[in-house]
Amino acid sequence: MLTAGIAHFDGMYQAHEQHLSRRPSPPPTEPPTTRVNSLIDECDALTHRLDVWFKESIVFKALGQAGEEPNAELVWGIASGTVGTYVALMLWAQEIRDRPVPLEWVPVYDAIAEIADGPIRQIRRFAFDWETHANDYVRAVRAGRPEPPLVITLKLAMTPAARSNFLSAARDLQRSRSARR
């Protein structure tokens, strides 16, 4: 269910990985600085949406314990919440890449959009790993065998490269603006 949901958005994922931009001209009159700080908070808020679905108590209720059937509604909730976050992060990054900004700000905005790359790839990788582990767990529970340890690790984090690119773009912008004064 989870991998099918992720796979459904493969075209969007491939477009995201190309980091394409469709910025219109001319840029807005609003200074881009008014938005930069809140953009990173928005990405963080999107990734924290998964905290609700991956609480240990929710996951074990979803998969069922010895002698119990999985709770299809909760399994669906976990899968749809994960896919929804995956898609929301790609849309967030694309919206930033499409945002009209002055030319000197383009590298900063592109670097901000890259912040979502790590979490997007991490969710994608997790989805394919999760299905294998969850299926093994459910099969063992149904067969009455000792439950294999169910290890769920989904840590969404900005990659070091994205952080470095953002800091570098911000420094370059600051230098170029200082040189013009």
Cα–Cα distance for residue pair 104/78, rounded to 1 Å: 41
DSSP 67-97: T----HHHHHHHHHHHHHHHHHHHHHHHHHH
Residue reference for tokens 């976050």: 85
Cα–Cα distance for residue pair 176/58, rounded to 1 Å: 50
User: Which residue type does 165 have?
Assistant: N
Section 85-114 average pLDDT: 89
- For residue 66, the model assigns a pLDDT of 66
- For residue 24, the model assigns a pLDDT of 67
Is-contact 53 127, C-beta < 8 A? no
SS3 (DSSP) at 60: helix
Cα–Cα distance for residue pair 72/64, rounded to 1 Å: 10
Retrieve residue 122's tokens.
């991490």
- For residue 122, the model assigns a pLDDT of 92
Cα–Cα distance for residue pair 67/93, rounded to 1 Å: 44
pTM: 0.80
- Does the structure show a pLDDT above 80 at 152? no
Section 67-89 average pLDDT: 89
